[in-house]
Amino acid sequence: MPKRTKSSGAWLNEHVHDPYVKLAQKHGYRARAAFKLLEINEKYKLIQKDTLLADLGSAPGSWSQVAAQMIGDKGRIFALDILPMEPIEGVEFIQGDFREETVLQQLVETLQGQKLDLVISDIAPNMTGNSVTDQARSFYLCELAYEFAIEHLKPGGHFLIKVFQGAGYQEYVSLLRASFGQVLIRKPKASRDRSNEIYLLAKDLH
Ligand SMILES: C[S@@+](CC[C@H](N)C(=O)[O-])C[C@H]1O[C@@H](n2cnc3c(N)ncnc32)[C@H](O)[C@@H]1O
């Protein structure tokens, strides 16, 4: 058995005492991340009964769970992750690497020409520990998500994405500002203070 490190012990301790972990368990959400989307959605009402949305980097599925609770018969959820995801009623899931053209095409085919109201992306690569590499890999995925969003959102559609502050951040915010009417920067309460992740809500695609 691998030796427990001090930091893994600290992580476990934090996880066990984390109120959002407890709340997620209580409400049956697969991840504490559910509360980040719930907080942002509470304020901006992004998900409506008839919303057509894509959830990029969806596994284990808490954002899709939240969305599935909110949409009605006319809404649809298209989720994608490189990892498998346990099925969620009302969610059409594709497993594959978002960087691969064939996987993107599969997602596009599932849309059947429909334009989306909302794209939500919590996509984040596995961290290698090399901050330069991690930041570059993360922004590459964010750029792909942006390209997908501007291509497949309806005019007036919204795009919510997690990014990491650091190299490339300002340029990315500028990119969003050029394509959307408004870009809001949000740090939900469930996002840990020590994490430099931040959520950008780009509203009203031109
Ligand atoms: C923070 S998790 C998402 C959590 C999710 N929002 C939830 O509420 O359950 C980030 C996800 O991005 C996925 N991911 C990372 N790189 C990817 C890639 N190249 N293609 C597809 N998914 C990817 C990971 O597998 C991981 O499941």
pLDDT at 6: 60
Question: Is-contact 188 199, C-beta < 8 A?
Answer: yes
Nearest CA residue ID for atom 27, ligand 1 = 59
| Centroid of ligand 1 to alpha carbon of 139 (angstroms) | 14
Active site residue 162: yes
Q: Where are the domains of the chain?
A: 31-205
Q: pLDDT (tens digit, 9 = 90+) per residue, 78-137? A: 999 999 999 999 999 999 999 999 999 999 999 999 999 999 999 999 999 999 999 999
162, 187, 189, 203: which one is catalytic? 162
How far is C-alpha 180 from the geometric centre of its chain's CA atoms? Answer: 18
Cα distance between residue 203 and residue 16, in whole Å: 36
Of the candidates 177, 175, 179, 172, the residue with the CA atom closest to the CA atom of residue 156: 179
Which CATH number applies to 31-205: 3.40.390.10, 3.40.50.12160, 1.10.1060.10, 3.40.50.150? 3.40.50.150
Question: Whole-number mean pLDDT of the chain?
Answer: 95
pLDDT at 2: 53
Nearest CA residue ID for atom 16, ligand 1 = 125
Q: pLDDT (tens digit, 9 = 90+) per residue, 166-205? A: 999 999 999 999 999 999 999 999 999 989 999 999 999 9
Q: Pick the more confident residue, 56 or 127.
A: 56
Q: Within 6 Å (CB) of ligand 1, which residues are found?
A: 30-31, 33-34, 57-63, 80-83, 97-99, 122-125, 141
pLDDT at 110: 98
Coil, helix or strand at residue 111: helix
| Centroid of ligand 1 to alpha carbon of 58 (angstroms) | 5
How would you list the strands of the sheet with 116-121, edge to edge? 91-95, 76-81, 52-56, 116-121, 153-164, 197-205, 180-186
| Centroid of ligand 1 to alpha carbon of 83 (angstroms) | 7
Q: Ligand 1 atom closest to Cα of 65?
A: 8
Percentage, residues of the chain above pLDDT 70:
97
Question: Is-contact 167 132, C-beta < 8 A?
Answer: yes
